[in-house]
Amino acid sequence: MDFGLDEAARKRCEAIDADVRAHWAGVRAVADPAAARANFRAAGRIGLTGLSLPAEVGGAGLGALDTALCLEAFGRACPDTGFAFAVAAHLLACAVPVRDFADDRVREQLLAGLASGELVAANAMTEDGAGSDVGALAVTARPTADGYLLDGEKSWASNAPIADLVVTYAATDPAAGFLGLSAFAVPTDLPGVVLGEPLPKMGLVGCPAGRVRFENCLVPAEYLLGGEGQGAAVFQHSMAWERACLFGIYLGTMARQLEECVEQARERRQFGRRIGEFQAVSHTLVGMRQRLEAARLLLLRACWLLDRGEEHVTEVALSKIAVSEAAVANSLDALQLFGGRGYLTGGAEEQLRDSLPSTLFSGTTQIQRELVARQLGL
């Protein structure tokens, strides 16, 4: 096992770190769709929106491992974790399935815009009655001579209020459950696509999220991803990439958070001593470092397996559990270490709010444990 980065990967991550700090230094997370669109274009110029897309469309052509390393650099340098999440969701849950399942005409139409950040994509799977139970989708796609008529509403889609494209899933054969789902890349300028207003959230405010409604929306057949009834396979593929790579952002956020906590422990004085000299504080910082390093190893192994085309369900699920739980635990420790200052708006309290949804999106922690249990034969 070689734990070192090759020269190209090291330079790539250093360049992302420098570019992101130059553009987002001191930026505060705000729930502003107009700002989010401008940020997407800036991220596109840095290359973040096309990390894993082919070079011929303006992407970097990276595999899962190198994509995760770049997203870690992004998360470490960007003070707005919500926006970093928005970019990763756009890339991994939307652009990747277009890359791997769209027909040539649609790939030619969409991938360059997705890579540049000029097109913003949203992933719409969740419904009011179907979250983890994706086999219970109520949105339907009825085949017609010209394509598919989509009807129904998605309850939660990151980037939806500013999306130019929605990757969504609908039942083409409702009686078949999970096996009757189909996936679509739906341009939001099609008649019958209604994007809701941004939903109020406790964290990740830099990523606008909203409802998506399809009102007798005719989607041309060319926008079908994979074949009819292949929606489950498309979704599992996109979730493997998202669960394996997106959480690199949280590794970066935790690394930045740890640096801030160590600086606080060195500078803050109580009872005539730096607080880092108290064992209760120093051991807390060691625990934060341990969680970060252990989670990073699990994530990189999951991405390595994904790149090799080997079985990765267990490793991706374990990685997702480890990173998300470490992010929450470290944020609670950071809040405690900063005390009253940490409770003020921004800083530790914001990191805690941004860490909490990591245990929910891309499949809850409980669902990840169920996946591992099945792999154990339970």
Parse the chain into domains and list their residue ranges: 7-116, 123-230, 247-375
Tens of pLDDT, residues 4-18: 889 999 999 999 999
Mean pLDDT of the chain: 95
Tens of pLDDT, residues 160-170: 999 999 999 99
Distance CA 185, CA 183 (A): 7
Which one-letter DSSP state was computed for residue 131?
A: S
Which pLDDT score is estimated for 19? 97
For the question of residue 242 being annotated catalytic, the response is: yes
Which pLDDT score is estimated for 84? 96
Q: Which two tokens stand for residue 111?
A: 């991938």
CATH code for 247-375? 1.20.140.10
CATH code for 123-230? 2.40.110.10
Which pLDDT score is estimated for 101? 98
CATH 1.10.760.10 fits 7-116, yes or no: no
Residue type, 376: L
Tens of pLDDT, residues 323-332: 999 999 999 9
Which pLDDT score is estimated for 25? 80
Average pLDDT over residues 150-156: 97
Q: How far is CA 73 from CA 16, 54, 221, 376, in A?
A: 6, 21, 39, 34
Return the higher-pLDDT residue of 73 and 346: 73
Distance CA 139, CA 2 (A): 47
Tens of pLDDT, residues 282-307: 999 999 999 999 999 999 999 999 99
Three-class secondary structure of residue 120 per DSSP: coil
Tally Cβ neighbours within 10 Å of residue 255: 18
Find the catalytic residue in 72, 127, 242, 349: 242
Radius of gyration of the chain (CA): 21
Strand runs labelled E in the chain:
121-124, 140-143, 147-158, 165-171, 181-187, 193-195, 209-220, 224-225, 269-270, 273-274
Which pLDDT score is estimated for 349? 95
Average pLDDT over residues 113-118: 97
- Whether residue 30 is predicted with pLDDT greater than 80 in this model: the reply is no
pLDDT category at 28 given cuts 50, 70, 90 is confident
Q: How far is CA 97 from CA 44, 310, 319, 345, 356, in A?
A: 19, 19, 21, 37, 27
Which pLDDT score is estimated for 2? 84
